[in-house]
Structure formats: C-alpha cells, structure tokens
Amino acid sequence: MPKKSKDSSKDSPEKTKRGWNESVAKPKKNQENVETTLSCPECSSSRLKRDYSHAEVICADCGLVLEDNIVDQGPEWRAFDMQQENALARGGPPMSATLPDKGLSTEISPTNRDYYGRAISNKNQSMLFRMRKWQRRARASKSAERNMAVAMREMQAVATNLKLPRRIQEAAAFIYRKAIQQQSLSGRAIEMVACAALYAACRQEGIPRTLTEISRHSRYSRKEISRTYQVMVKALKMHSMPPMPEDYLPRICSKLELTPKVETAARDLLRAAQDVPLTNSVPISLAAAAIYIASIINNERRKQKDVAKAADLTEVTIRSRYKEMAKFLNIDIHV
C-alpha cells in the first residue's frame, strides 16, 4: 500500500513541490536517478526518483512513496578521478572460463608506478620485471594449467578469425573443461580438442559455422576435428539441434551484397523445399542454392563462382543443388 512521505502533505503542496525542485536542481551523485519507465498512480507523473539516503522510490511531483527498503548496489565510496577509483576499488574482473585459473589469481601490474602513482626507479623496475616473469611461470607450473593455456590460445585465435562473440568462447572453454575432466579425449592434440569444443559451442548457441571454416583457421583437417567432436558428443552426452539452412542466409547474402528482398525470397524457397528429398543435403549447400535461384528471380544475378566462394563450397555443389531444387519446385532458370 503506497504511503505518503513525511515531507509531503495536502496542507502544503507548494512547499513539497518546491523542495523536490531544489533536489532536482542539485542531485547528489550515485544517490538519485530519475525513473522514466513507471508513473505515479496518484498524479500520473513519470518523474520518479530513487532516494538511496532513505531507501525509497518517490514521486518528484506529489511526494508519494511508491517503494521502500530498496538496496543500493553501487559502491559505498565516492571517487572523483581515475586514480582515486583505482585506489578504492576492491573488486576485480568477473570470473571467466577462458582463463586457465578462471581469473581468480592476482598479477603484478605492468605499469611501472607505485600505489601513489609515482614512477618506480630503474633499479626497482628490473626487479619487478623478474617478479612478473616468475609469477607467470608459477601460474602455469602444473601440466593441467599449461594444457588450459594452450587450448585457450587456440580457441581465441580461431574465434577471432571467425569473428565469434565472447559468449561462444566462454561456452567453448566450459565444454573443454568438462571434456578434460572426463578424460575421454586423452591422447588427442590439445588444439584439436579446442577446435572441437569451439564447434560444439557454435552448435549449442545456434551460430552457423561449419567444420570447414574452423579447420581453415587451424592446422588440423576437417576430418580430424569432426572425429574429435563425435567422441566429445558421446562422452559428454551433448544434445544440440542441427543447423538449419535458413541460419546461413544472412551471412551469405551479406557477403554477396544482396538486398533483403533476395534473402526473403530464398527463405521462401527453402520453406517450400522442406518436404522434398533435397532437404537431406548439407544445410549450407541448400542455402546457397536458394540464394542463387532467388538472385536470378529478383534480377540480382550472382555468378556461381561468387556464391560458391561466399558459402565456402565448390561450383559443382552449387550447380547440382540449384538444379535439383529448381526441378522439384518447377522453376525455370535460364543461366
């Protein structure tokens, strides 16, 4: 049940309003934020304020208390510059599965300055350099930690080349850790298992990436990564939906610089071809064939060579797939 604050009363509305205007004119940092998503149930005003000094959400116009006992999740200290913020901050970065120690260990700062921001002498700089070196060695003293460091470097390199988001790297690192704990992939190369974990993360998160794309940025073949992935799926009992041809349409159309009209037409072709035996083919080949047909229909023709390059397929695959699709859908294509 909303209640009235002590500062607001029906006898002195002008005083209440004037008092809130003064607080709006001189807000205190980290104490009051204007709420714009809700409205006051009494005066329908959207000028709601969070007053952390009293732990209340109050209407700035009529003074109605909409919520009390709110919690300020910010720090209890105030900093006026970056130096004070670095000195007062006690929390580090969040945990990350992509780091060998999950980011829980500390490290010596690479900046050659002391706590007060003063430059460190050359003699002490050489000492700090040796301390940093031995700290890095100590953090990777165990074989399991060195294993994780190598795997994370491989994942980061492949993910960067494929322009994968950060969440995919986190998911891949989590899958890799589970696979190592199961000890079902012992004897296989670390980088190979890392690539298989990255592909598994893409499958789980619905990111359309093929084994061919991953193997291109690794020193292992598509066949080797595929075998490792199959063993990983059985060992971890993973369940992921196979990629759909529609998932590849935006990426291929973007590479070919086609308009959204072509992408929509290609999506309609794939939807019409769902009930034919052609759908048993590789999903990306179906997407490429649908894009090739749609580009011709919408007078934005692209060469088979360009479509094959954008989809990372051969021209023979594009030619055979689009002919089969056109035959089943009764579409006349004049090349």
Counting other chains too, the contacts that 158-165 makes at CB distance below 8 Å and 24 or more residues apart are: 158/194, 158/195, 158/198, 158/214, 158/217, 158/218, 159/198, 161/217, 162/209, 162/213, 162/214, 162/217, 164/198, 164/202, 164/207, 164/209, 165/207
Euclidean distance between CA atoms 294 and 322, whole angstroms: 10
Residues 316 and 308: beta-carbon distance below 8 Å: no
Sign of the torsion angle spanned by Cα atoms 148, 150, 155, 157: positive
Helix (H) or strand (E) holding 58: strand 56-59
Q: Report the helix count and the strand count for the chain, using DSSP H and E.
A: 13, 5
* Tokens 């060998």 sit on residue: 100
Could you tell me the end-to-end alpha-carbon distance of the chain, in angstroms, rounded to an integer? 73
Task: Give the distance, in angstroms, between the CA of residue 218 and the centroid of all CA atoms in the same chain.
Answer: 22
Q: What are phi and psi of 208, to 5 degrees?
A: -75, 90
Residue 202 in marked binding region: no
Number of Cβ within a 10 Å radius of residue 286: 25
- For residue 177, give the amino acid letter: R
Spell out the residues 6+ positions from residue 196 whose beta carbon is closer than 8 angstroms to its own.
225, 228, 229, 232
Element (H or E) spanning 204, and its range? helix 190-205
Q: Which of 93, 136, 91, 86 is nearest to 111 (CA)?
A: 86
**Which residues are part of a known binding site?**
40, 43, 59, 62
**Which residues are part of a known binding site for Zn(2+)?**
40, 43, 59, 62
